[in-house]
Amino acid sequence: MENKFLESIWKDSKLSLFRKVLILGLIGVVRNILEVLVGGGWARAWFSISWDVFLTMFFYPIFLCFFGSMVLHFLSRGFGLDIKMKRIFSVLFALQLVHLLIPFFDGLAWKYNIPFHFFIAPSLYLKLVFSPLVLTPLILLFTWPTSPGIDVAWLFTSIMFLKIYIRDLGLPPIKSLLVLALSFYAVYMSIYPVYVFFLNEVVMGSDYMFGLFFLLMSVPSIIYVKVMEEREGR
């Protein structure tokens, strides 16, 4: 039932591509404001009422939705799994609403001092991101820019797609797990190791660049999603 509801948010809409992108961007902006207001001390160390953070958070849900859809669809086709782009995108589009719940989980964890992360040396972390652990959401427990709300959101997203691929569509479990694990790896590496440990420190070094990074990653993803939807809709 919940999967049909998520998909209907996208399928029943007659929104233009511009409006879809705008809605996703506004979700990110609202999340930034909520993190500042209710996310607690951890959130206020990362989020703020500033143009660079607003830029980043505007493009972040756009990136997650379109880039995630592109990777999932591409890998699904590569592994011979029959799932349409519209179905993948409809779920990811609806799941971006979870952004609005993340600050409240962050605030509760901060208020009640709930542990959610194991602090490890950067050198050990970089070894972990090239281990099998990174193919599961468990890697988030060792990722320093995450939070309780982010962990819950990733876990919820993983469960939803496992249900869709294996239970709803009846796709082969092993192939489905591989596709979902590799897709998670691609998105995770883009958000955390690739940006935080390379682009930000070595190439960019500007607070505005995280948002521009998401923008640049989103553009080809948007084109891919649009082309695939049109091709599969013929």
What CA–CA distance (Å, rounded) separates 56 from 59? 6
Lowest average pLDDT, out of 86-100, 163-177, 193-207, 218-232, goes to 193-207
The pLDDT of residue 2 is above 60: no
Tens digits of residue pLDDT in 4-60: 545 554 454 567 889 999 999 999 999 999 999 999 887 887 888 988 889 989 999
pLDDT band at 202 (very low <50, low <70, confident <90, very high): very low
Residue ranges in the chain assigned as alpha helix (H): 2-11, 17-38, 40-46, 51-78, 85-95, 102-111, 122-128, 148-162, 173-191, 193-194, 209-232
What CA–CA distance (Å, rounded) separates 233 from 165? 20
8 Å CB contact between 47 and 35: yes
What CA–CA distance (Å, rounded) separates 26 from 168? 31
What CA–CA distance (Å, rounded) separates 204 from 26? 25
pLDDT band at 204 (very low <50, low <70, confident <90, very high): very low
Tens digits of residue pLDDT in 77-135: 999 999 999 999 999 999 999 999 999 999 998 888 887 777 777 778 778 888 888 88
Read off the amino acid at residue 76. S
